[in-house]
Structure 1
Amino acid sequence: MGAIFLIFNGCILLKKEGASKTNLVSLSLGVSVLAFYVVTFYYLTSETKVFNVNTLSNVIFVIAVYSYLIFCTAFIAFMLYSFIYLTVPNKKIYDFIIVHGAGLRDGEYVTPLLRQRIEKAVEAYLNSSNPYIKIIVSGGQGPDEKISEAQAMANYIESRTSVPIDRVILEDKSTTTYENLLFSKALGKKLVDNPKFLFVTNNYHVYRTSAYARKIKMDGDGLGCRTAGYYIPSAFIREFIAACVKIKWAFVVLYTLLFIFLFVI
């Protein structure tokens, strides 16, 4: 059922967002998982001696099953950790709210996804008990953009919200999530001693952003905003892949153990 859901979701995503490498993630994974199920069914119902690893096809099958179990376990753990992180309430008083940038529509206007981040940040700003809190809009100008993402967000805040524009700080040099945090932290430290940050992004993106915050020793917490349902599976899978890359040494150890086992037997 999981494979069918991913394929169905991938088709919806392509229809709504258009074809791109990132939008093909859900569909590609669904097809791969379905193919794995078909091959597994064949091996378990045919006369092939599945556990006789003396043949290349059986070695490949064992590796595929091993990989499936490892990544399924890791994915479940990743989902649980992300859910717990998002549901644990934060009671801190923050000095700055960072809004992570994203691609712009027509090179100068915020997209629905980015608008959700801004509105979540504005909500946090209005509910803050710190009268001096400020919003840092963070994002540089891409090669296909007419203005920086920070400027586009500032324009939206000025024209569409009640937040005074003098409470908005532009960080318009960053090009990655890591740089969003790093450069925003530097701006905050120029204005406040030991600043506390609340960084706002989409809920699927909070885990990785939080990992970067810990890496640069930022005193901050993540706040996730709502994401269109059809977009979540693909985005969450991409975040999972990024998390796996960060701990690739663990997978190297696991696969080393497998190959030692195959070599011994």
Structure 2
Amino acid sequence: MFVYIPAALLFLVFCWRMLRERRRFGNAVVLGLAVLCGLVAWVSRLLRSGSTSGLVIAFSLLAVGALGILVLTYLLFVNGVRMLRKEGRSPANLLSLLAALSILGVIALVITAAVVRTPVLLGVGAAALGLSAYVSFLFLSFVCYAFLYGRLQVRRKADFVVVLGSGLVGGSTVPPLLASRLRRAQEVHARLAARGRPPVLITSGGQGPDEDLPESHAMADYLTDHGFPAELIEREDRSTTTEENLRFSKAIMEKAKPDYRCVVVTNNYHAFRAALTARRTGVRAQVVGAPTASYFWPNATIREFAAVLVAYRRINVCVGLLFVLGGVLVWAVR
């Protein structure tokens, strides 16, 4: 049982970090390490057992993992093609397709290096395999923790509900993506109002160059058209990014009530990154997500993950350089 001690300790660290602050990407990493250590311990125990059933289970897990990579690649490719057909050929819509092609590229490179076995290819293959494993681990940790974070209960009381904007269609129309946020905000507001004083709902979003009015105004109009009381709506109409959404909304909330508490509403794929941004900007908030169309979710999740990687670019670049150095060492040794 001692082989499971690292996994158990990491899980205890994860629980402690969760109690202190839920809005940390480090929580996702620690949880991922706990699961990884647990799986490695289990597989190593099965292999060392020497029993036929243990060996069968261990190799079955490895086979399932390999098959899972191929299935994931296929699904990403299909999703990428569907995104291009439904959303157009913008760079942001190519992420699923690029991810699938990247996986295939790494697999082809590693196989070629193993067959040809030239020093250069072995070094490049080792570096690519290490980088891919690192990014895959972070991505799986991000997705699993984002799923867990999205199921945390909203605190019992809040003074404000903040809805983040996402752009308008035709310059003035609330698109389905934003409408889902507004409907979710109404649900959250109704639950909070049932527990006490109704919170103020802040629609947050400025006016883009291709928009006829600020997003926050169109959002407020949508809410009032669907029966929401106009006197409970506050508009934040200067922001153009998620960080500005939160910073400018924070100024409104602090002016009205310095010790405020709030709930931020966005789409489910964006909830965890919005929570990270809220923590960085000092907003006392829990973030909840609204449903997103299934075909849109994979591409949007990859985009969110890429943004998190950029936010932590210093440590990621350092780790990446270590894998590159490892590839150079493999090349030098060969």
Question: Using a 3 Å threshold, how does the CA distance of structure 1 residues 196 and 182 change in structure 2: closer, same or farther?
Answer: same
Could you say which residue in structure 2 is the equivalent of 1:79? 143
Greater shift, 30-39 or 18-27, is seen at: 30-39
Deviations 1:81-120 (A, max 9, x none): 1111111212330111010001111110100000000000
In structure 2, stretches of 5+ residues that fail to align are 1-70
8 Å CA contact retained: 2:113, 2:122: no
8 Å CA contact retained: 1:100, 1:180: yes
Could you say which residue in structure 2 is the equivalent of 1:122? 186
- The structure carrying a bigger helix percent of its residues is 2
Letter in 1 for 2:198: Y
8 Å CA contact retained: 1:94, 1:130: no
For 2:106 and 2:324, the matched residues in 1 are separated by 20
For 1:61 and 1:127, the matched residues in 2 are separated by 54
Match status 1:240 vs 2:305: yes
Report the count of equivalent residues.
258
Could you say which residue in structure 2 is the equivalent of 1:155? 221
For 2:309 and 2:125, the matched residues in 1 are separated by 22
Q: Secondary structure at 1:242's aligned position in 2?
A: helix
Report the Cα offset of residue 215 of structure 1.
1.0
For 2:135 and 2:319, the matched residues in 1 are separated by 11
Structure of higher CA gyration radius? 2
Report the Cα offset of residue 63 of structure 1.
1.5
In structure 1, stretches of 5+ residues that fail to align are none
Question: Using a 3 Å threshold, how does the CA distance of structure 1 residues 170 and 103 change in structure 2: closer, same or farther?
Answer: same
Could you say which residue in structure 2 is the equivalent of 1:195? 260
Kindly report the root-mean-square deviation, in angstroms, between the aligned alpha carbons of the 2 structures: 1.5
Percent identical: 33
Letter in 2 for 1:231: F
Report the Cα offset of residue 14 of structure 1.
1.5
Report the Cα offset of residue 259 of structure 1.
4.1
Could you say which residue in structure 1 is the equivalent of 2:212? 146
Question: Using a 3 Å threshold, how does the CA distance of structure 1 residues 68 and 148 change in structure 2: closer, same or farther?
Answer: same
Correspondence 1:149-228 to 2 at 5 A: 149-159=215-225, 161-228=226-293
Q: Secondary structure at 1:104's aligned position in 2?
A: coil
For 2:150 and 2:198, the matched residues in 1 are separated by 26
TM-score normalised over the length of structure 1:
0.92
1:15 pairs with one of 59, 67, 85:
85
For 1:162 and 1:125, the matched residues in 2 are separated by 13
8 Å CA contact retained: 1:138, 1:171: yes
Deviations 1:176-229 (A, max 9, x none): 000000000100111123111100000110111111111122111001110000
